[in-house]
């Protein structure tokens, strides 16, 4: 089964008020072609889940700058001053989540768990509005799972069945997010025939991938 699609088909998937996860770390491992497609579409009021809001001109940054988002769930906004400006102005709802907690909430969403217990944030502003649970005399925050309608991911290479290989640290959040969305769209640099990727090279199995597009084009 060939999961390759065109950009026109990708655009038809996006809807207002969707929750969209985007892979990447400071723009590394972020699917720039797919982010650009969202940015240039008419879609609005999305909830964006990403490790960070990157920079004004790169990564997921343009989605914030061009006000595509009503909410961002992220671990870091310092490199994109527009995120902080919109947050302070009340134009954007920003939920800041410690990075490890963010990763584990996404993992919980992909694994069907009811949440995770973490000591991170206990006694700080992070605990506001959250349930605390004591285990063996120690307090933990119950952090709820995160899932998305769509995950936009980046991989180095895929076969036509969607088995993915990542390039070094560009892997980052992408494998976790592949498990935590209803529809998974992956932008790749190369696409090969089924059987051309050795089984032990595969990081994300094709069963998790719904659609593939080649970077920069309508392949």
User: Which residues pair with residue 134 across a beta bridge?
Assistant: 139
- How far apart, in whole angstroms, are the C-alpha atoms of residue 160 and residue 38? 24
For the chain, 219 residues long, the average pLDDT of each consecutive 10-residue run is 87 94 94 94 96 94 95 95 94 95 97 96 90 96 97 96 94 96 96 93 96 75
Q: What is residue 218's predicted lDDT score, i.e. its pLDDT?
A: 47
Q: Which fold has domain 7-114+145-214?
A: Glutaconate Coenzyme A-transferase (3.40.1080)
Q: Model-level pTM greater than 0.75?
A: yes
Spatial neighbors of 14 by CB under 8 A, at least 6 apart, are 20, 37, 38, 41, 43, 150
* Strand (E) or helix (H) holding 40: helix 32-40
- Which is nearest to 120 in space by CA: 97, 144, 136, 145? 97
pLDDT at position 37, please?
A: 92
Give the per-residue pLDDT at 157.
Answer: 95
C-alpha span between 174 and 172 (Å, rounded): 6
């Amino acid at each position: 089964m060939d999961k390759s699609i065109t950009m026109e088909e990708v655009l038809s998937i996006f809807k207002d008020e969707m929750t969209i996860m985007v892979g990447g770390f400071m723009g590394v491992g972020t699917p720039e072609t797919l982010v650009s497609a969202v940015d240039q579409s008419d879609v609005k009021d999305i909830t964006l889940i990403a490790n960070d809001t990157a920079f004004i001109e790169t990564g997921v940054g343009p989605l914030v700058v061009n006000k595509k988002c009503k909410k961002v769930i992220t671990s870091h906004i310092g490199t994109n001053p527009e995120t902080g400006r919109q947050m302070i102005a009340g134009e954007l709802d920003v939920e800041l989540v410690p990075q490890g907690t963010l990763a584990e909430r996404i993992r919980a969403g992909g694994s069907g768990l009811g949440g995770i217990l973490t000591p991170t944030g206990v006694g700080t502003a992070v605990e506001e509005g959250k349930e605390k649970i004591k285990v063996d005399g120690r307090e933990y925050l119950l952090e709820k799972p995160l899932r998305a309608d769509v995950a936009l991911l980046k991989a180095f290479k895929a076969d036509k069945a969607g088995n993915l290989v990542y390039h070094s640290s560009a892997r980052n959040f992408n494998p976790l997010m592949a498990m935590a969305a209803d529809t998974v769209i992956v932008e790749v640099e190369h696409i090969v025939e089924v059987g051309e990727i050795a089984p032990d090279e595969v990081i994300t199995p094709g069963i998790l991938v719904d659609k593939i597009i080649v970077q920069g084009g309508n392949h």
